[in-house]
Amino acid sequence: MDEKNFITIALPKGKLFGLSAELLEKIGWTAEGLHEKSRKLIITNEKVGLKFIITKTADVPTYVEYGAADIGIIGKDVILESGKDVYELLDLGFGKCHLMMAVPKDKKRPRFEDYNYTRVATKFPRIAEKFFSAQGMQMEYIKLNGSIELAPIIGMSESIVDIVETGTTLRENNLVEIVTIMDATARLIANRVSYKLKFERINSLVEELSKLIALK
């Protein structure tokens, strides 16, 4: 297939990868070697004109915004935190989780407002700041990339804002949820120029995926 008719898809490493690849495979959008254990960063299916870029979760919106990928699959939380200018085409319904604020159980304060002017550790400072500002609260944000639960335990912060799926990690670290900030699921996103230039193929993908999701 002509290179200009190829569709390049950015997929995130980690939890969403397998679910994304499985969903795309159901409609024939796949390639040999497209699995989590592959060490290849770019996997191509010349026959049907597909190229897959396997990248870090946080980088998917960037690849799509700059046109390195025509489309991508990523969580709503990552889209909002990145602030990238992309089209959100479809809620894929999987990867359900929610972003919340949590604190140590033994240091829980009587009211939510009592956390005003305190420190919050998070991978999502943009979303957190927007949320707390809307509540009229001024917080100090500490950006961390992993083991967020550790921050209040060692006294670095009074609270955390993080993604929760089952709540097991919170319980294991004696943290309790104070407030839900937003719910999140995986979304199909597109580069704005690609969406216009490759509209037929991308729109066809959206329609096929929409039918699959409706059957669940």
Name 97's Cβ contacts closer than 8 Å, sequence gap at least 6.
75, 77, 163, 164, 165, 183, 184, 185
- At 119, list the tokens: 């420190």
Show the low-confidence residues of the chain (pLDDT under 50): none
What are the extents of the domains in the chain? Answer: 3-95+185-215, 97-183
Comparing CA positions, the residue from 34, 40, 100, 45 lying closest to residue 73 is 34
Name 195's Cβ contacts closer than 8 Å, sequence gap at least 6.
70, 87, 89, 202
pLDDT score for 1: 58
Q: Are 82 and 124 in contact (CB under 8 A)?
A: no
Report the distance separating Cα 155 and Cα 7, nearest Å. 48
How do residues 55-93 score in pLDDT, each as one tens digit?
999 999 999 999 999 999 999 999 999 999 999 999 999
Is domain 97-183 in CATH 3.40.190.10, yes or no?
yes
Instruction: Determine phi and psi for 11, rounding to 5 degrees.
Output: -120, 140
pTM assigned to the model: 0.91
Domain 97-183 in the same topology as domain 3-95+185-215: yes
Homologous superfamily assigned to 3-95+185-215: Periplasmic binding protein-like II (3.40.190.10)
